Amino acid sequence: MEKKKRIVIALGGNALGNTLPEQMKAVKITSRAIVDLIEEGCEVVVAHGNGPQVGMVNNAMIALTHEDPQQPNTPLSVCVAMSQAYIGYDLQNALREELLNRGIEDIPVATMITQVRVDPDDPAFQTPSKPIGRFLTKEQADLMAEKYDYIMKEDAGRGYRRVVASPKPQEIIEIGTIRTMVNSGDLVIACGGGGIPVTRQGNHLKGASAVIDKDFASCLLAKELDADFLIILTAVEKAAINYGKPGEKWLDDITVDEAKQYIEEGHFAPGSMLPKVQAAVEFAESKPGRQALITLLEKAKDGILGKTGTRIHL
């Protein structure tokens, strides 16, 4: 019997919606695309972002401190944990339902609340750049900075937002349990929102005020699980060079070296396509035979079959 292809899928925000009702609808579509891959004979592990969701949780926790002065401010690491749990709840229910609808009854689905260790000396902590939460006026931003010691930055003329560090993931704390579950045939949802950022202090894991890029966390997860494929889902079918400019070219099949050259030439936007291509390159070059794919959610199956998407390999 041929060994199943092991795939780690990194779901972007567009696969989850921006509100609870949107998420309930979005995960049904997402689940269909994931179960399509399972029907193709793939073994799937799911990771996801949490951009809108962690901002929503953070705002709700701040509102609570305004209502009840006795309530302390909720650390960002706890907000990430909350977002992991409620996204996982919707995703695992939708996946279970889709599997049963197709007569697949032997694949348990479970969410692992996942901590990811970061380096407290990561340079990202010196230059926080990842915006979270809603837009505020200058007065509101100054109040938040004074009250909670938040770093607030003006965002493209739209108002002020809190910015936090985005350090690189170093270690997935629960990887042993995740590996055991995956090896036993479970469909596992892990590293939600890039993982709960923690630093090690002896035997204690302390939550960090940061968010980890979900593409880099998914790359680490894929390497640790010895996956064959890392699929990074995004809002376009393929990556491109000269995107939106004269000479625009959609990329189909490229080597790691070609991808690195395009990165060097500045073809991919920071905070958008750049981290996706960087994570794809990191995975593809980590071991012969590993491939990364960047494509749309609904094109994931076609991508695995070689029909579309940007495929990166050695």
**193 secondary structure, DSSP code:** G
Residue 56: both structure tokens together:
């929503």
Please say whether the beta carbons of 92 and 189 come within 8 A.
yes
- Alpha helices (H) in 149-211, listed in sequence order: 175-183
Mean pLDDT per 10-residue section of the chain, whose length is 314 residues: 84 82 90 95 95 85 86 91 95 97 97 98 92 84 86 87 93 98 97 97 96 96 97 92 90 96 93 92 97 94 93 96
Whole-prediction pTM value? 0.92
Alpha-carbon span 71 to 49, nearest angstrom: 28
Query: In 3D, which of 27, 19, 22, 50 has the Cα closest to residue 113?
Result: 50
The SS3 call for residue 213 is coil
Please compute, for residue 79, the number of CA atoms within 13 A of its CA located in the half-sphere on the CB side: 24
Please say whether the beta carbons of 71 and 64 come within 8 A.
yes
pLDDT for position 2: 60
pLDDT for position 249: 94
What's phi and psi for 48, nearest 5 deg? Answer: -155, 160
Q: What is the 3-state secondary structure (H, E, C) of 9-73?
A: EEECHHHCCCCHHHHHHHHHHHHHHHHHHHHCCEEEEEEECCHHHHHHHHHHHHHHHHHCCCCCC
Alpha-carbon span 93 to 114, nearest angstrom: 19
Residue for token pair 């650390």: 75
Give the number of other Cβ atoms within 10 Å of residue 241's Cβ.
18
The SS3 call for residue 134 is strand
Please say whether the beta carbons of 279 and 216 come within 8 A.
yes
pLDDT for position 218: 98
Catalytic residue numbers, as ranges? 13-14, 130, 214, 276
